[in-house]
C-alpha cells in the first residue's frame, strides 16, 4: 500500500501530475483544491476570508478521506501544497499507523512562471470560490509564494523532484516508475 504525496507551491502542476499518476496506476486520488471547490458548490462562495475558512474545512475532510482510503488498504495519491512542517508530522503519523510506503513527488518551477500560470488560471479555469483573481490576492501571493522557491518536506520517503517550468520536458514515465518502484 502506498501514499503518494504530490506537493509543491502554487501553479507548479500538482493536479496535472497527480491526475496522470492516478490514471496510470489506478490509485485513488484526493485533491485538496477539488474538495474545496466541491464545498464552494455546496455552500457558496463570497470573499477571500470565506475562501480561507472553506479551506480549513476542506483540509480536515482531505485528511480524513486520505485516512479512510488507507484504512481500507487502498493506495492513495494526495494532491496539495504540503509546504508546512505540520504536514510532515501528519504524514509520518499515517506512515507509522498504516505501514504505508510513502513516496513524495515534489514539484518546482521558476517562481515567475508559476506566477504567470497562476494569473492565467485565476482568470480562466479556476473556480471563482478561490477568490484568487483579485489584485490584493496577487500582492499577497507575490509576497508569500512567487518571490521564492520551496524545498520538499523532510520526510522519510522516496522523493523525486520534478521541475515543471517547461511541462513539455517532464518525463511522466519516470515519475510513474518512481511511484511504482520500477
What tens-digit pLDDT sequence spans the chain (182 residues)?
Answer: 999 999 999 999 999 999 999 999 999 999 999 999 999 899 988 887 888 898 899 999 999 999 999 999 999 999 999 998 999 999 999 999 999 999 999 999 999 999 999 888 887 777 777 776 667 788 888 888 888 888 999 999 999 999 999 999 999 999 999 888 85
Contact 125, 33 (CB under 8 A): no
Q: Which three cell numbers stand for residue 113?
A: 512562471
Q: Which three cell numbers stand for residue 135?
A: 489584485
Angle, helices 14-25/172-180, rounded to nearest 10 degrees: 60
DSSP 3-state assignment of 29? strand
Q: Give the structural domain span for 101.
A: 2-180
123-133 core/surface letters (b: 16 or more CB in 10 A; e: else): eeebbebbbbe
Q: Which three cell numbers stand for residue 123?
A: 482568470
DSSP 3-state assignment of 88? helix
Contact 8, 84 (CB under 8 A): no
CATH number at residue 123: 3.40.50.300
What is the rounded distance in angstroms from the CA atom of residue 145 to the CA atom of residue 167? 20
Task: Provide the number of structural domains found in the chain.
Answer: 1
Cβ within 8 Å of residue 68, ≥6 positions away: none
Q: What pLDDT was estimated at residue 50?
A: 84
DSSP 3-state assignment of 150? coil
Amino acid at each position: 500500500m502506498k501514499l503518494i504525496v504530490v506537493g509543491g507551491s502554487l501553479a507548479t502542476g500538482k493536479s496535472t501530475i497527480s491526475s496522470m499518476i492516478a490514471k496510470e496506476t489506478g490509485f485513488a486520488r484526493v485533491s485538496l483544491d477539488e474538495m474545496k471547490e466541491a464545498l464552494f458548490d455546496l455552500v457558496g462562495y463570497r470573499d477571500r476570508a470565506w475562501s480561507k475558512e472553506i479551506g480549513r474545512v476542506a483540509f480536515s475532510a482531505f485528511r480524513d478521506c486520505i485516512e479512510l482510503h488507507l484504512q481500507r488498504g487502498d493506495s492513495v495519491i494526495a494532491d496539495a501544497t504540503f509546504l508546512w512542517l505540520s504536514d510532515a508530522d501528519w504524514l509520518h503519523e499515517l506512515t507509522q499507523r498504516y505501514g504505508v510506503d510513502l513516496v513524495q513527488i515534489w514539484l518546482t518551477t521558476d517562481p515567475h512562471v508559476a506566477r504567470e500560470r497562476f494569473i492565467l488560471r485565476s482568470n480562466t479555469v479556476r473556480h471563482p470560490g478561490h477568490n484568487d483573481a483579485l489584485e490584493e490576492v496577487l500582492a499577497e501571493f507575490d509576497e508569500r509564494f512567487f518571490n521564492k522557491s520551496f524545498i520538499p518536506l523532510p520526510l522519510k520517503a522516496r522523493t523525486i523532484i520534478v521541475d515543471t517550468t517547461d511541462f513539455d520536458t517532464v518525463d511522466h514515465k519516470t515519475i510513474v516508475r518512481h511511484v511504482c518502484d520500477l
